[in-house]
Amino acid sequence: MFKRIATSRKARLSFDFEGHRLEAEDGDTVAAALLLAGERVLRSTAVSASERGPFCLMGVCFECLVEIDGIPNRQACMVKVLPGMRVRRQRGAARVGST
């Protein structure tokens, strides 16, 4: 659905999404990289568990929440991909403490 508009010479890097290795370019946000990889659903809501994905891509709508390196509820559109980053879908409310 999405493709890169320009051929860039930025460094390639890889990160982990739900146990799969995905490619990105240096400077990509997590949301952009996941959309490019064809991922549409990044979270399920805390109240009704309905599926959501990136919408505004500018830090406002909070629909693209993911867990990054163990930290819940990160905005995928506001975080740049780093090599080896471990990203998971945010399923429902964040779980912290020993629930």
Partner 1 sequence: MAVQHADTIVVGGGLVGAAISYGLAKIGQGVIVLDEGDVAFRASRGNFGLVWVQSKGDGMSEYARWTRRSADLWPEFAGELAGETGVSPHYYKAGGVHTCLSEEELQARTNLIERMRQVHGPERYEARVLDRRELAEMLPGLGEAVIGGSWSPHDGHASPLHLLRALHAGLLQGRGRYHADARVTAIARDGSGYRVTTAAGVFAAERVVLAAGLANRALAPMVGLSAPVSPLKGQILVTERAATVLPMPTAFVRQTEEGTFLMGDSYEDSGFDTASRPNVMAEIARRAARTFPFLRKLQVVRAWAALRVMSGDGFPIYEQSRTHPGAFVVNCHSGVTLAGAHALALAPMIARGRLDEEFAAFSAGRFDVQAHRDVA
Taking the complex as a whole, the smallest distance from the CB of residue 31 to partner 1 amounts, in Å, to 17
The number of residues making up the chain comes to 99
Compute the least distance from the CB of residue 72 to partner 1, in Å.
6
Interface with partner 1, residue 98, by CB under 8 A: yes
Which residues 6+ apart lie within 8 Å of 72 measured at CB? 65, 90, 94, 95, 96
Cα separation, 21 vs 36, in Å, equals 13
Which of positions 21-80 make contact with partner 1 (CB under 8 A)?
46, 70-73
Residues lying near partner 1 in the complex (CB under 8 A) are found at 46, 70-73, 92-99
